[in-house]
Structure 1
């Protein structure tokens, strides 16, 4: 089985990150994900790359910054992989590394199962093409309306650029998740209003056995009800963590809802919203936390044009 994992790791490093023997690879990890990181580290060494493993203390939540020495090392690599329990995707460290020209992928919550099943097995050429088409629709759009179970959430996205997370980061400064397949955007802060039913999963909580009903007013989460509501509110805190920070659409036809948001938010038939930081992808919120919540089979309208009907993309 270890050889299977090594083969998958080599394929990710070559196909998704374009790693070459002459390059430096930095792998950032923490105790919960160290075993997976060590396999990827070994795969990097097998190419002849200068592969280094950096072990840090587990972060307390997604969006929390890594230590300064880790952030500095990330900026000096050719390729960087962040294989951690909690996500470093929406951190200044990730943003600054990409700005320095690093090809970077984050793999928060990745499991051994993901190395052989699900989203990682997708045809990433096809994922990339669909993701870029959906991203263009978001960039050109001005207003989003999400309808599910009789609840509606609306917000403007005018003058915001969509972001493609294609799973292929082959050029300097490209970054995103692995496995991947999503198009996302930062809603205009302070404007969202309405309600949304999250019934897929939530970062830091896992697969939802019962739905969460979230109420948003003037861009801020004002109420949450459901079995995991109090836990969600504790993670977000009382400050800017409760601001709506992201809207995303899954574009990976092999992704499953497993309880690990890294894969869940990429699944066909889902969208996700997140509360907290979005300054790393075009917004203004810097909250030190970013919690994604996955919604299954919604209707989605962009500028009143139907984009998704019960989870199925229309005319894309």
Structure 2
């Protein structure tokens, strides 16, 4: 399979993976690279990354496990492989990498003295010993379309939005379909998925292309109308009828809509139930909390029904239900859901109008 590249040429899997090794990871001679994957189409992508890494004289290893859903645990051998602290860890999965049983039940303390529920997060964010990326739900079509992009331009745009959010106190999101949400972001720091994973401690999605931030716990108010892809862990759905959710004190209080609304509510309740069963009452409560507001920036991303790509689409934002990135509202779920053509203001400054950026 080939697809048009940056300059109109054809790009195949190995071409795209060489771009990843060079522009995204800046792989060096002798670096250890762990690639965790599943059987099937994602294995082909993983093999292209393996072969691309060898072109840079790195030392890649592939570990294959069965497909894991949002609430499934990774195989013990996978967790142990990550514990070996390779320079780079890559997850190319049909659904998810899988949870860490020790992390969920006991936890890890990073060098930053924060608690993490997965060894990958501890080594990446807490210890800053590894770097890498994760691509849940990736397909060859998405990989070839959305990965070979101009990363320098993407990073410039991400920097502009990050600066605005970094100094912001409140985000106001509206749409013609009825979204009207106020999100408190005081004392929060934006995070970037700009494909710059060249230093230890950095990581994100491939395909890249978003800026995201965790709402202040318990402070968001309003209504959200989701009219794009709903990411429900192991299942991504595009709703036939928009899903309307009501937010009070940062938590979902009501969900309305058709079959998609029922599936969203069930997915949240399943995560809540699992948290209760293992004695994690705070996680159960936070199953209903707003965990993220993200802004899509990838110039090649298209609606594919795969949240990994869809949440990077320009003209969209996504709002997650469940765990946040500041680790002060832990949950077992993190369900990203899309809103098309939003108008977005930060402290009164309009950065998007009906999905179009007004700042660059």
Fold match (TM-score > 0.5): yes
Q: Which residue does the alignment assign to 2:351?
A: 307
Alignment partners' CA distance in 2, 1:77 and 1:270: 35
| Cα offset, 1:59, TM superposition | 2.1
8 Å CA contact 1:155–1:193 kept in 2: the answer is yes
Q: Does 1:93 align with 2:119?
A: yes
| Cα offset, 1:283, TM superposition | 4.0
Q: Which residue does the alignment assign to 2:275?
A: none
Pick one of 48, 52, 55 that aligns with 1:39: 48
- SS in structure 1 opposite 2:336? strand
- SS in structure 1 opposite 2:287? helix
Q: Which residue does the alignment assign to 1:293?
A: 337
8 Å CA contact 1:242–1:276 kept in 2: the answer is yes
8 Å CA contact 1:106–1:177 kept in 2: the answer is yes
8 Å CA contact 1:82–1:108 kept in 2: the answer is yes
Alignment partners' CA distance in 2, 1:314 and 1:241: 34
Q: Does 1:55 align with 2:64?
A: yes
Moved more, 191-200 or 181-190: 191-200
Unaligned runs of 5+ in 1: none
- SS in structure 2 opposite 1:9? helix
Moved more, 2-11 or 138-147: 2-11
8 Å CA contact 1:24–1:79 kept in 2: the answer is yes
Give the superposed CA RMSD.
2.2
Alignment partners' CA distance in 2, 1:9 and 1:310: 34
Moved more, 193-202 or 88-97: 88-97
Q: Does 1:112 align with 2:144?
A: no
From the CA coordinates, give the structure whose radius of gyration is larger: 2
Deviation string 1:39-78 (CA, Å, 9 cap, x unpaired) is 322332343321111223322217x663454234335111
Q: Which residue does the alignment assign to 1:215?
A: 246
- SS in structure 2 opposite 1:42? helix
8 Å CA contact 1:189–1:283 kept in 2: the answer is no
Alignment partners' CA distance in 2, 1:206 and 1:182: 20
Report which structure shows greater RCO (CA 8 Å, sep ≥6).
Answer: 1
Q: Which residue does the alignment assign to 2:309?
A: 263
> For 1:55-94, what aligned pairs fall within 5 Å after superposition?
55-61=64-70, 66-75=74-83, 76-88=85-97, 92-94=118-120
With the length of structure 2 as denominator, give the TM-score of the two structures.
0.81
With the length of structure 1 as denominator, give the TM-score of the two structures.
0.91
Q: 1:207 to 1:13 in 2, by over 3 A?
A: farther
Q: 1:211 to 1:235 in 2, by over 3 A?
A: same
> For 1:163-242, what aligned pairs fall within 5 Å after superposition?
163-203=191-231, 204-226=235-257, 227-237=259-269, 238=272, 239=284, 240-242=286-288
Q: Which residue does the alignment assign to 2:8?
A: none
Moved more, 31-40 or 230-239: 31-40
- Size of the aligned set, in residue pairs, is 312
Alignment partners' CA distance in 2, 1:101 and 1:167: 18
Alignment partners' CA distance in 2, 1:150 and 1:49: 51
